[in-house]
Structure 1
Amino acid sequence: MARADPPPRKSQQRQRRDVRQAPLARGRAAEDGAVIDIADRGFCHPAPGSPDQYDGTLHVTHAGHYYRTSPVFRTDAPAHRRLAETVFVGLARPDGDDVVVIRLYALR
C-alpha cells in the first residue's frame, strides 16, 4: 500500500500556490518486456533570477523557471536493476503544449 503524505498546512498552501507537482507514471515496459515502475516527483515554479541552463549545447531549462525532477525506478528485472540502485535528479523544460524535456543525471 502506498504511503500518503499528510495534507499541507494552510501556511504551506499559501507559500506553494504556484508550485506544480509532476504526475506519476507507473508500470512502463522496457523494450525487452521488463516492467519498470517509475515514481517521478518534480516541481516547477517561477524563479525570476534563474538563467537559461545548458549541458553543452543541450538547452535543459528556461530562464525564469525552477523545474526539477527526481525519479525513482523500481524493477526486479536483473537487466534493469541498476536503475533501482541509482539516485537520479533532472532538469526539465516544456517543449510545446504537451511535451516536457527532462535531462537526467545519475548521482554517484
Structure 2
Amino acid sequence: MTFVVGDNCINCKHTDCVEVCPVDCFYEGPNFLVIHPDECIDCALCEPECPVDAIFSEDELPEGQEVYLELNAELAAIWPNITEKKDSMPEAEKWDGVPNKLQYLER
C-alpha cells in the first residue's frame, strides 16, 4: 500500500510532509508534490503533517480523486526527489480548499 498526494496540494505545495519521510519518497514538480508508490513504506508519518489535508492512504482516496494514484506514480518517475522542507507556494492560502484543481497542474 502507498500514500497518495491528492488534489488540494496543487498550487499549495507545502513540504512539511517531506521533512518527516524516513525514505525520501517525495518528488517535486512546479506546483505539486507526489509520492513514489514503490518507495513509500506506508509509515503514515506524512499524512498528519500536511496542513491542507492533501495526503491519503491509497484505499482512502476521496471519491473523484482516484486519478491521483496513477498520476503520483507517473510524475514520481520523472520529477526530481525532494528531501528538505521549502517554502510553500506564494498563494497557498488562497488555493487551500479550492476544488477540482487538476486543470492547474503544471508538469
TM-score tier after normalising by the smaller chain length: under 0.3
Structure with a larger share of its residues in helix = 2
- Name the structure with the higher strand share: 1
